[in-house]
Amino acid sequence: MHSREKKLISICIPSWFTKEQHGKYGMHETYWFAARCLEKLLARTDRSKFELIIVDNGSTIEDADIADRGFWKNKGQDAYNEAITIPSEYWKQADILIKNKNNVGFGPACNEMFNVANGEYIVCMNNDIIVWEGWEDELIAILENKELSPAPGIAMPALMKQSKDAVFALSMNKENVDLSMNYDKIGAGAEFGSLWMCKKSLLNKIKEKNDGVFFNEVFKLGMGEDRYAWYQTRELGFETYRTHKTRAYHFGNATIAKVSDRKIYTERNRKLLEELKNNNKKNEVPSD
């Protein structure tokens, strides 16, 4: 564990790895990609700026499960067959590691991390995200932009869309990432829940409105709690913005796609989101 000290940024990453999370890229696909994403994050972000907080959300994968490199599917792409960080080393990268005996869910796991984060800026990052150098500076620049109206509350990157292939994305250096499209534009109303940054002061304001938690824990499987947080951000007079001066690659559903009954929660969470919004509107104090 690294020593605990006050940092500019707290990066929070929820992680849940089982022995059955295989996919089109090979065995233990979810862990393989998460390990690669963490490697890129640590290599491309100034370590003096941030503390890393990880939740082990009841993972069952062990070092021995990935010790034999022979089981990887090789699609002719060497990057997949490179040795990857074993799980015990993955967890050791955290400044703060929260270990849950069972999977408590995405929202509750994130709330656990937010409760111990001490950075001025809080980052919530799924473990299937690739970033490139300077990403954190561009998000901070959005949050500190005094010309934006409404004032910025949440900052998010635009997505890298040159390829959907994870191995290709892993091979890309910053110089290979095309930033030309919409480079000078800042998009309001952004709703990308897999990588975002806010000031801790805003996070605390939403916790005050939300019974002491940032993400409302009535939602399941990481579907809906982010959109409700964006709604609450706007209710406080702030806006969510996307910057095109940095890009992130998102694998997408690297974990949730491995949950067999996930679809039963989709409609349920949509209804919950609308109910919460409607209840908020009913409780608004009418203006004179």
What pLDDT, on the 0 to 100 scale, is given for residue 21? 79
* Contacts of 66 by beta carbon, 8 Å cutoff, 6+ apart: 28, 31, 32, 84, 86, 87
Q: What SS3 class is residue 281? A: helix
CB 233 within 8 A of CB 206: yes
Count of CB atoms within 10 A of residue 262's CB?
A: 16
- Asked if residue 117 has pLDDT above 60, the reply is yes
What pLDDT, on the 0 to 100 scale, is given for residue 263? 57
At residue 196, what are phi and psi to the nearest 5 degrees?
-150, 160
Q: If you average pLDDT over residues 57-76, what whole number do you get?
A: 69
Q: Is the dihedral of CA 271, 228, 248, 147 positive or negative?
A: positive
What pLDDT, on the 0 to 100 scale, is given for residue 5? 81
- Asked if residue 286 has pLDDT above 60, the reply is no
Q: If you average pLDDT over residues 36-59, what whole number do you get?
A: 96
In order of their start, the domains of the chain are 9-282 (3.90.550.10)
- Asked if residue 224 has pLDDT above 80, the reply is no
How wide is the angle at C-alpha 130 spanned by C-alphas 124 and 134, nearest 5°?
A: 80
Mean confidence (pLDDT) of the chain: 85
What pLDDT, on the 0 to 100 scale, is given for residue 217? 78
Q: If you average pLDDT over residues 206-232, what whole number do you get?
A: 83
At residue 181, what are phi and psi to the nearest 5 degrees?
-70, 120
What pLDDT, on the 0 to 100 scale, is given for residue 265? 58
Q: Over the stretch 20-30, which tens digit does the pLDDT of each residue have?
A: 877 777 778 88
Give the confidence band of 77 by pLDDT, cuts at 50, 70, 90.
very low
Q: Which two tokens stand for residue 172?
A: 């890309």
Q: What SS3 class is residue 39? A: helix
Give the confidence band of 1 by pLDDT, cuts at 50, 70, 90.
very low
Q: Over the stretch 182-192, which tens digit does the pLDDT of each residue have?
A: 999 999 999 99
Q: If you average pLDDT over residues 139-159, what whole number do you get?
A: 98
Cα separation of 171 and 286, whole Å?
55
- Asked if residue 274 has pLDDT above 80, the reply is no
More confident residue, 106 or 143: 143
Q: Which of 25-34, 64-73, 133-142 has the highest mean pLDDT?
A: 133-142
Model-level pTM greater than 0.85?
yes
**Of the candidate ranges 155-169, 193-207, 212-226, 249-263, the one whose mean pLDDT is the lowest:** 249-263
More confident residue, 247 or 78: 247
At residue 141, what are phi and psi to the nearest 5 degrees?
-60, -35
| Best CA proximity match to 129, nearest among 203, 10, 35 | 35
More confident residue, 166 or 257: 166
Give the confidence band of 71 by pLDDT, cuts at 50, 70, 90.
very low
